[in-house]
Amino acid sequence: MKVHITADMEGIATICHDIQSDTKGGDFPRMREIMTGEVQAAIEGARDAGANKIVVCDGHDTGRNLLIEKLDRDVEVIEGSSYDLGMMAGISRDFDASFQIGYHSMRHTHAGVLGHTFTYSVAELRLNGTVVGESGLSAAIAGHFGVPVVLVSGDAHAVRQAKNLIKNLVGVSTKEGVGLYAVRTLTPDKACELIRKGAKEALELVGDIEPYTIKKPIMMEVEFERPLMAQYVSRIPLVKRKDFKSVAFKAADMVEAFHVFELMNQVASYAKDEGPL
> Residues in the site for Zn ion, rule: CB under 5 A?
8, 134
b/e 121-156 (16+ beta carbons within 10 angstroms → b): bbbbbbbeeebbbbbbbbbbbbbbbebbbbbbbbbb
Burial class (CB in 10 A: 0-12, 13-18, 19+), 24: exposed
Q: Kindly tell me which of 122 and 228 has the beta carbon lying closer to Zn ion.
A: 122
Q: Kindly tell me which of 104 and 200 has the beta carbon lying closer to Zn ion.
A: 104
Q: Kindly tell me which of 8 and 38 has the beta carbon lying closer to Zn ion.
A: 8
Alpha helices, H only, 181-253: 188-204, 227-233
**Shortest distance (Å) from residue 277 CB to Zn ion:** 26
The closest alpha carbon to 251, from 240, 242, 235, belongs to 240
Which residue's CB atom is positioned nearest to Zn ion? 8
Residues pairing with 31 in the sheet: none
CB–CB of 158/107 below 8 Å?
no
**Shortest distance (Å) from residue 116 CB to Zn ion:** 6
**Shortest distance (Å) from residue 7 CB to Zn ion:** 10
DSSP 117: B
Q: Kindly tell me which of 134 and 225 has the beta carbon lying closer to Zn ion.
A: 134
Q: Kindly tell me which of 206 and 263 has the beta carbon lying closer to Zn ion.
A: 263
CB–CB of 241/247 below 8 Å?
yes
CA 235 to chain centre: 27
**Shortest distance (Å) from residue 134 CB to Zn ion:** 5
**Shortest distance (Å) from residue 229 CB to Zn ion:** 19
Q: Kindly tell me which of 231 and 265 has the beta carbon lying closer to Zn ion.
A: 265
